[in-house]
Amino acid sequence: MECSEFISRFRHRPLRHQPRPLRPLGLGTRLDIRPMRFAVGLERPIHWERLADARSAPSRVAFYLGRVKEVDEREVLALVWEYPSGRESLASLLVRVDFKGEPPVPGSLLRIWTWVELPGRGARRQRRKVEVEPLRLSEAAQEELDSFLASLEAEEPERSEDDP
């Protein structure tokens, strides 16, 4: 199997740092993990049946909640939290592929399923499915924005000390 083949391969890795960085022994790989900020997936079922459109056996399945941070013409940058650990990471998604050409509003909630398909002959396909819950501002937030925009019109711009 392809999997056992690469695990058994001997790792030739020359020493890069000397002296070795102070790292705890016994942990082969140290990951950047921010302490859990919240538990993902408590508010409603994860709906693993969303993977029903997998074309072959889904494996290594993962689920994330996400929040859209930035959107440009081609890409969406989102802060995502892994189920169930709440581990946080930044992810980039594609407008064309993940959102079918309709970029989401910043602040929208994302539900993301990712998995690997093994169609055979050693091939591995990384797949993902994204659901968007659009951002909706409350009335209070709209009013706050209103008053902010009105206040800007009445203000003088800030000047630096050397400004003529």
Footprint of another protein on residues 43-82 (CB under 8 A)?
43, 60-62, 64-75, 77, 79-82
**Least spacing, CB of residue 150 vs another protein, in Å:** 11
Among 100, 121, 155, 164, contact with another protein (rule: CB under 8 A):
155
How far is residue 74's CA from residue 94's CA, in Å, rounded to a whole number? 6
40 phi-psi bin (left φ>0, alpha ψ -120 to 50, beta other): beta
Under the binding rule (CB under 8 A), the answer on residue 38 touching another protein is yes
**Least spacing, CB of residue 128 vs another protein, in Å:** 4
47 phi-psi bin (left φ>0, alpha ψ -120 to 50, beta other): left
Binding mask 95-114 for another protein (x = CB under 8 A): --------x-xxx-x--x-x
Binding mask 6-35 for another protein (x = CB under 8 A): xx-x-x-xxxxxx--x------xxxxxxx-
